[in-house]
Amino acid sequence: MERATVIVAIDGPSGTGKSSTSKAVAAQLGLSYLDTGAQYRAITWWMVTNGIDIEDPSAIAAVAGKPEIVSGTDPSGPTITVDGTDVAGPIRTQEVTSKVSAVSAVPEVRARITELQRSIASGAERGIVVEGRDIGTTVLPDADLKIFLTASPEARAARRSGELKGSDVQATREALLKRDAADSSRKTSPLAKADDAVEVDTSDLTLQQVIECVVTLVEEKRAGK
Ligand SMILES: Nc1ncnc2c1ncn2[C@@H]1O[C@H](COP(=O)(O)OP(=O)(O)O)[C@@H](O)[C@H]1O
Ligand SMILES: Nc1ccn([C@H]2C[C@H](O)[C@@H](COP(=O)(O)OP(=O)(O)O)O2)c(=O)n1
């Protein structure tokens, strides 16, 4: 028998296709969608805007509870606000991208955002696709399906620099690898594949192929296979 709700966790490093795959899978299956990276970017944007010293974890920890972050989970138009301000654009700047790993390594930040993520997932009536770095390992360890996306640094850098006009592929590659190293080596819930996650290398797959692969895996789970 088909289960009423389904929780899908999609983790992996930057540029592996998490956001595009998760949004499309959620839309196709009528599920909600949550971009947890956007939440870490939003809290980082707030810290930068409020002049908090990013080099000082205790300063970040002291104010981690202040910003109110709200995520809209419709896959056809996800939204993110901080204290009522739409920050979808500002959270994608180079400045926020370069600071997000330091802010998201602070345990008080992770505790706050993890709680928010769990409450959004438990409120999703038909189920949800949640993408990030620690969803399968920490946020939703009981997810019905866990996917870990990977791709070569070359493929990821080419995809990312395709999005950022005029950017240098080599510089993008270095920045990606630096962020992966920081995210994988932090003490609290690092970027990691859960033991029971299905690993999909997307280097030589089209986005459509990755979407089909994940949709098939969800349908098999739903059918109880
Ligand atoms: N399998 C794929 N083949 C080619 N390009 C892809 C593939 N998956 C995603 N992309 C493109 O790569 C870029 C990064 O994808 P995104 O979903 O944002 O990755 P992530 O969320 O893991 O950082 C986007 O421009 C997206 O359209
Ligand atoms: N579950 C998550 C999601 C993101 N983060 C942190 C670490 C990542 O480098 C940043 C930004 O994540 P995001 O998914 O927006 O990054 P990309 O768009 O894939 O480059 O947030 C995290 O620590 N835990």
pLDDT of 202 strictly over 90: yes
pLDDT of 1 strictly over 60: no
**Residue 147: in which H helix or E strand, if any?**
strand 145-150
Tell which one of 18, 91, 159, 177 to mutate to probe ligand 1, the residue whose CB is within 8 A of the most ligand atoms.
159
Give the pLDDT mean for 137-152.
98
pLDDT of 123 strictly over 90: yes
Interval between CA 42 and ligand 2 midpoint (Å): 11
> So where are the chain's domains?
6-222
CATH architecture designation of domain 6-222: 3-Layer(aba) Sandwich (3.40)
pLDDT in tens, 178-199: 999 999 999 999 999 999 999 9
214 closest CA partner among 224, 193, 204, 199? 199
Confidence of residue 2 (pLDDT cuts 50, 70, 90): low
Tell which one of 21, 101, 133, 207 to mutate to probe ligand 1, the residue whose CB is within 8 A of the most ligand atoms.
207
Beta bridge partners of 70: 81
pLDDT of 12 strictly over 70: yes
Give the pLDDT mean for 25-45.
98
Give the pLDDT mean for 41-60.
98
- Angstrom distance (rounded) from CA 110 to CA 2: 33
Relative to the CA of 131, which ligand 2 atom is closest?
1
